[in-house]
Chain A
Amino acid sequence: MIRKWLPLIALGLLLSVGVGRGFAQDEKELKPAGSPIAVAPATDAPVSAPADPGGAPTATPPVAAHLAGTYDSGSTSWLLVSAALVFFMMPGLALFYGGMCRAKNVLNMFMCVMVCVPIVCIEWIAYGYNMAFAVPSAIAVDAGKDDKGVDKPKLSYLGWDPGLVFFKSFGETTPVDGPNSFGKTVTSGDTTGAISTGVPELLFAMFQMMFAIITPALIVGAIAERVKFSAWCLFVALWATIVYNPVCHWVWNVNGWLFQKGVLDFAGGTVVHVLAGVSALALILILPKRRGYPGGHFLPHSIGWTLLGAGMLMVGWFGFNAGSAVAVGKDFLPVAGATAVMAFAATAIAGSAASGSWMVAEWLVSGKPTSLGVGSGMVAGLVVITPCAGHVSPGSALLIGLIGGVVCFFAVLAKQKIKYDDSLDVVGVHGVGGALGALLVGIFAVRPVMGGFDQFSLQVQGLLVTGIYAFVCTIVIGTLIHKTIGFTVDEQTEAEGLDLAEHGEAAYRLT
């Protein structure tokens, strides 16, 4: 019995330590250790959470004046909507996955997706956002000097700002950036150091929280219909901390070492989809297959739900991609919000094109066009365009979508050949699609840099580093959980169905 509670107890301990530390620092750290406005980190990345007003231009009057109560209402509104849209992807994903399960496992699938909301939310507030997006760096290395003998910006591997523990500095009564500011103005991901996004950092933190929530949820499709719920909860907490936060920092933080190198990832091709896909692959390799696979009858019980979910995902994806334009100061175009429009268009075009190309590929190869194929193709196209969205032209988005649908279709077919039990094709759609998008952006990018061989090889580097890191960490976490509390359910539970055995509920009844 106690074994069942271990994950919860572990989570509780983790949290109570976190809360304790948060309040302890409250006493000492009156002023949040600072948001050096983006100019700073480019030249002077603080190594250990310094309150260093001298070096950083935070204190210089023009910036301060600029920030005083000048949030951009357009950007802020769109990002508020976008954050809500990304959250809308959670029930979308639950329906998308749930429809593909058998009727006896639907509710478990819903639960595995939705439980990421509380777990990652708490983790994100406690320390996750801090690890990923704090501007002060906890671990940074020198990058040497450039041609003129000036120190290059340090390469950061992990962020840490004591003021961000439990979002302390967002609750400060003393204004941080100006008389009308609530919390700090976002600086993270600001590519040039010259753009203020005009968005309160707390909103940025919430928007990014939605990303952190949905990423682990994507993984569960690979081990659907056999995962033990308690083990899954523990996995989500550990994976979000060990895999997601650091990689998010590398790729998206203004000091992150991959970001500094120039690796492009507009809205999460590597951070979200490659991480989820590669981790799914790792879990498939170390965990047992569903009993009876391959050969047994693992038919989707409600394609309608899956299609409804796919539609909800696409709606949410507009926030996911077009919101990313505003969130992290990626307005490459001279007119405010234009990048968001480009990202929106690319998202709509690629998702639509891929649903068509998957359907045609399936029609030619398997003989019939299926509705599941159209829904899967749409999601595949959205995955592929994610890292490219604001970087490419609409014509390229069309091409990327068409390629994405076909490639992911064949990736899913390949799974049937090698008999991996990737229950709902997370590797084929998110892993392959995310990797494909991360590479294609190196070729098709037109802003802020042109695609080409150099950018492509950078993208390959970024992909390999994040992929290998996620793979190794997931193997370790997964094996640890499987050897201790067990990651999959026993034979009887699996036969009876996870809904009844794990949750004491049934999705459907006749009367």
Chain B
Amino acid sequence: MTSKRIYQWFIGTSIVLFFISLTQVDLEYARLTTGFKDFAEMLLKMFPPANLEWDRVLEGVLESWHIAVVGTSIAIVISLFLSLTAASNVSPMKGLSSIVKGFAALMRVIPVFIWALIFVVSLGMGPLAGIMALAVHSLGMLIKVYAESIEEVKPGIIEAMRSTGAGWWSMMMRGVIPSAMTSILSWSLFRLEIDLRYSTILGMVGAGGIGLIMLGTLRMYNLQATLSIILIMFAMIFTVEFIGSRIKARWLNGPTKRTGVTIG
């Protein structure tokens, strides 16, 4: 089959699938018109954004960020240890590597909001549920990326340390982790950025922080206050992304750029 023919097939199948799906979900088209009207009315009711109890809001903002920092930190510590058992080049036992990698995959594929719901149900509403949700979901990712960083450590370094008679812990802490440190650090920062963004909205399922405050205003139909909080969330996420990109530019490219300028 020519590539043009594959292309035509692809488009054709997509269109057929779209219409099958559309008929199967059984939409009420009448609601589309009334719904648009309600939506526009609600948007109008949100303006102008209301003044808030600022000390409560500030508390919420800080709580969101604390949740992110604590959750990520817990994930970093646990992942650092578990990734050593997951990395196939240094794992102390045969078979352990795939077990830990499987566990990490399971933690990762369950979305963070599902984790938050699970912990809200089991631990109650509030920051603890948020911390646990972020920690568990993050370690799913961190174990994987840390293990990959460790697997990239030059085999010679490990061989040389083995040849000195060093034990497993000494080899890991003195040789393997320092060699993988740069990528471990940048992955951790990257994860912190993600968690700072998640923690802003995690409260909407009851897991603490600014999101929990928004949940309250929404329940009371205080739409003007809700808009204010949405704007604050936007500012929070924007700040995190802005600072994150600045740090990346400075840490990862900065030194080479600077020497380039002085030399050239």
- Are A and B associated in one complex? no
Q: Which B residues form the contact surface with A (CB < 8 A)?
A: none
Q: Which A residues form the contact surface with B (CB < 8 A)?
A: none
